[in-house]
Structure 1
Amino acid sequence: MPTIALVGALDTKGAEYAYLADQVSALGAAPLLVDIGVLDEPTVTADIPRERIAGAGFRDAVGGRSNSALDELRREHDRNAAMRVMARGAGAVLAELVAARRVDGVLAVGGSNAAYVMAEICGRLPFGFPKVLVSTIAAGDTRAYVRETDLTLMYPVVDINGLNRLSRPVLGNAARAVVGMAGRTEQELACSVPTVGVSMFGVTTAAGSAVVQGLSTYGVEALTFHCTGVGGRTLESLIRNGTIEAVADLTTTELADELVGGVCSAGPGRLTAAASTGVPQVVSVGALDMVNFSGTVPTEFADRRLHPHNPAVTLMRTTPDECTELGRRMAARLNPSTAPVAVLFPHCGLSQLSVPGAAFHDPDADQALYRALKDGLRPGIDLYDFDTDINDPVVSGTAVELLATWLKKETP
């Protein structure tokens, strides 16, 4: 019998969670009610009371210990601070239960507070573990809540405020969804072959696809990440948690958005996980010739070289100065690596758009990037030069051969 953790504020959402518990039980699973409410008294009895959640959250968030954490949160009467503590506590407690194989799925319902708590929980749970959120935020910008997880979202149509002819079937579907997910098998999650993370963008698709195909001939599974910011953060997260054993990071365009202020930044953690965890990586400069903007390009860039990628995205060419800084940053992030590293530099185009005759062709900017990389990389990191563009098969072929060699060496 799978156990489903139902996480919510049992003071304001008691009726909804009692209904969910009944639905889960009717499906042959065991509900585990986890209370994250703070101010008012719960209207249904929790299996894991709010006092335990507050205590765990107080230790996790503040670094201290308190037997009266819930009382302290009530005295402060700060909803934002309380949510932070309860979210951390729920994440810590659920992570322990999942690790002990005492919980097989997690379901939460509510508004932005429930979504925030669920985001904290999901960040601590393994990929493939069932995670379902029913929330009104599902119809808006969900990036802050989904983050780099495989959270499943359902839009409730009406607000989660009592049981009615619309909320009942939605909550019932959510219960069926998470119970059904909890019936997954270990075989579905297992992978007995090496796994390589591959970065790709629309203008480097040929390179990414060729790497995936080439690795498959060696019996290696490739996971491709679209470098829109979330893709890069997810790649880094999976490297850190041990899911990915080697990296073909041929498309590092998110560094340009981080530097200049584009919409596809993956943050300062991009290109750091493999170096810090000892994962071998082949890296290139794919799409560092561009910065991405959606909608209107900032007025400060009005005189720059722009290219409409599609009606929703406008690209801007990186300058020699920006490329110099990008080369420095790449070298600085790669130099701490303890595992094998190789950098591939295609001198005739960092993407489809910077090959000779294309909109972003700029040999001076490309050369500035190359010089900064060459000067900044420490001894021991090989820099491969190619008299071709990033999408030429010789570039992807070199990446595949290097990774296959490294993975073979690491195979017992």
Structure 2
Amino acid sequence: MPETMKPRILLIGTGDTKADELLFMRDRITRAGGETVMMDISVLGDPPYRPQHDKHAVAAATQTTIAAILASGDENSAMSAMARGAATLARELTEADAIDAVIAIGGTMGTDLALDVALALPLGMPKLVVSTVAFSHLIPPERIAADLMMILWAGGLYGLNGTCTSVLAQACGAIVGAARSAIRPKKDRPVVAITSLGKSCLNYMVELKPQLERRGYEVVIFHTTGMGGRAMESIAAQGGFAAVLDLSLQELANQLTGSVVNSGPDRLENAGKAGIPQIVAPGAIDMVDFPAWLPTPKELADRPFHAHNRLLASATSGPDDRRRIARAIAEKLAQAKAPVAFVLPAGGIQQWDREGESLHDPEGLTAFVSEMRSAIASPVELHELKEHINHPAFAERVLQIFDRWVAAGIVPAGQATAAA
């Protein structure tokens, strides 16, 4: 936005219960050089100020009324209806170029609504949630937008105090600064997503990234440690990629085996639903992650173990779990609305499963490969390699499939290819 313009900040909250906090935030946004656009999401009462978008406008955005919402009879359904209206209205304001950023405050109720609003907005639109449950495991991964910012609203239960105003002031300064500095993603080149872990575990992106860039694509690599896969799924759901190279599915395996290090139950689904072509591989699906600062889960106590750092440790899943994971992968890919190729490196699927390494488990690998062969069905293409996933032959095969799809018009041509 031009430096001379005041960033327009959409401020969302329940004005009937949090008027003091919202008016304080309006003042801080003004002091920071912003302009506040107020959206009231109250249901029972009315705020002591006049918001630009009142609760009746929020209800109307989802084709209902406050009276009808009240008649629903419980607070959960009422706030869910307001969330739909707030998300719709915020998206309309964004599309009309009427706002530059969004900030919302709340406890569990307000946070629940704010998460829906954030998911409805495009990548690059600054969005910040001030919440009493920020960073809590109450918030499932699939509710978190790819570029959402959160801050814990310490002391934010009832009324203003020195602790909570300190947090609110920081949040207001942050959202005004983000609005001034935000850069929306460019669309001058088709975007290809790649999922991976660090080079010590999976290294195919070292070859794939420059090769795809030479072909005229912007390459975005997502770190599959829970929120990385969540970000990829969030952007894929909005149709943000020309192709997805989903080569590290560890988060899906984690979710199926009960690990908290996951990206939600819709992992490996959104690109297919959005009609985005996918090349998929089972990178690191044999590892079950858990916090290194907690005791090893009992069910993994006797399994091969690897401590990555003080935050993250992994153990291998057993043969039965790997068969179950293989079937789940095949089921998700079968639902895709665009071409899918599955590349199966029978020689191994992450660095530490090699002979002599800490997670070497040939029985488990054999069980997975065998189940995967039988689970994948047409029209999904199956490409089996005898090599390890970190062998150059794996990246070569992925590029061969990708180039064939470009030639066939399945994947849009990169800018370099189109200009040639």
Q: Which whole-Å CA distance do the structure 2 matches of 1:313 and 1:172 have between them?
A: 34
Change (3 A) 1:54 1:200: same
Please tell me whether residue 209 in structure 1 is matched to residue 206 in structure 2: yes
Change (3 A) 1:300 1:42: same
Residue 130 of structure 2 corresponds to: 134
User: How far apart are 1:232 and its partner, in Å?
Assistant: 2.3
Instruction: Output one character per residue of 1:320-339: Cα deviation in whole Å (capped at 9) or x when no partner.
Output: 22222222222222234453
Please tell me whether residue 226 in structure 1 is matched to residue 231 in structure 2: no
**Long gaps (5+) in structure 1:** 60-64
Change (3 A) 1:67 1:356: closer
Instruction: Output one character per residue of 1:330-351: Cα deviation in whole Å (capped at 9) or x when no partner.
Output: 2222234453332222222211
Residue 356 of structure 1 corresponds to: 355
Please tell me whether residue 118 in structure 1 is matched to residue 114 in structure 2: yes
Please tell me whether residue 315 in structure 1 is matched to residue 314 in structure 2: yes
Task: From the two aligned structures, give the one with the greater helix fraction.
Answer: 1
Letter in 1 for 2:21: E
Report if aligned partners of 1:233, 1:266 keep a CA contact under 8 Å in 2: yes
Instruction: Output one character per residue of 1:121-170: Cα deviation in whole Å (capped at 9) or x when no partner.
Output: 10111111011223343465584487133122234554365455555554
Equivalent runs, 1:6-17 vs 2, <5 Å? 6-17=11-22
Give the match's secondary structure for 2:222. strand
**How many aligned positions are there?**
402
TM-score by length of 2: 0.84
Change (3 A) 1:170 1:39: same
Report if aligned partners of 1:204, 1:390 keep a CA contact under 8 Å in 2: no
Report if aligned partners of 1:251, 1:284 keep a CA contact under 8 Å in 2: yes
Q: Which whole-Å CA distance do the structure 2 matches of 1:46 and 1:393 have between them?
A: 59
Give the match's secondary structure for 1:261. coil
* Identical columns (%): 32
Letter in 1 for 2:48: T
**Long gaps (5+) in structure 2:** none
User: How far apart are 1:35 and its partner, in Å?
Assistant: 0.9
User: How far apart are 1:192 and its partner, in Å?
Assistant: 0.9
Shifted more, 22-31 versus 388-397: the winner is 22-31
Give the match's secondary structure for 2:201. helix
Instruction: Output one character per residue of 1:214-259: Cα deviation in whole Å (capped at 9) or x when no partner.
Output: 3222232121222223322322221221111111111112232233
Query: How much is the aligned-residue C-alpha RMSD, in angstroms?
Result: 2.9
TM-score by length of 1: 0.86
Shifted more, 363-372 versus 166-175: the winner is 166-175
Residue 103 of structure 2 corresponds to: 107
Equivalent runs, 1:233-272 vs 2, <5 Å? 233-272=230-269
Change (3 A) 1:321 1:160: closer
Residue 345 of structure 2 corresponds to: 346
Letter in 1 for 2:233: E
User: How far apart are 1:36 and its partner, in Å?
Assistant: 1.4
Equivalent runs, 1:288-299 vs 2, <5 Å? 288-294=285-291, 295-299=294-298
Q: Which whole-Å CA distance do the structure 2 matches of 1:311 and 1:169 have between them?
A: 31
Q: Which whole-Å CA distance do the structure 2 matches of 1:258 and 1:166 have between them?
A: 37
Report if aligned partners of 1:10, 1:36 keep a CA contact under 8 Å in 2: yes
Instruction: Output one character per residue of 1:175-206: Cα deviation in whole Å (capped at 9) or x when no partner.
Output: 333233333577x4322111111111245331
Report if aligned partners of 2:9, 2:34 keep a CA contact under 8 Å in 1: yes
Q: Which whole-Å CA distance do the structure 2 matches of 1:180 and 1:192 have between them?
A: 26
User: How far apart are 1:374 and its partner, in Å?
Assistant: 2.0
Please tell me whether residue 34 in structure 1 is matched to residue 30 in structure 2: no
Change (3 A) 1:372 1:165: closer
Letter in 1 for 2:45: D
Residue 10 of structure 2 corresponds to: 5
User: How far apart are 1:42 and its partner, in Å?
Assistant: 1.4
Q: Which whole-Å CA distance do the structure 1 matches of 2:19 and 2:379 have between them?
A: 60
Report if aligned partners of 1:348, 1:354 keep a CA contact under 8 Å in 2: no
Residue 48 of structure 1 corresponds to: 53
Residue 374 of structure 1 corresponds to: 373
Give the match's secondary structure for 1:343. strand
Letter in 1 for 2:129: L
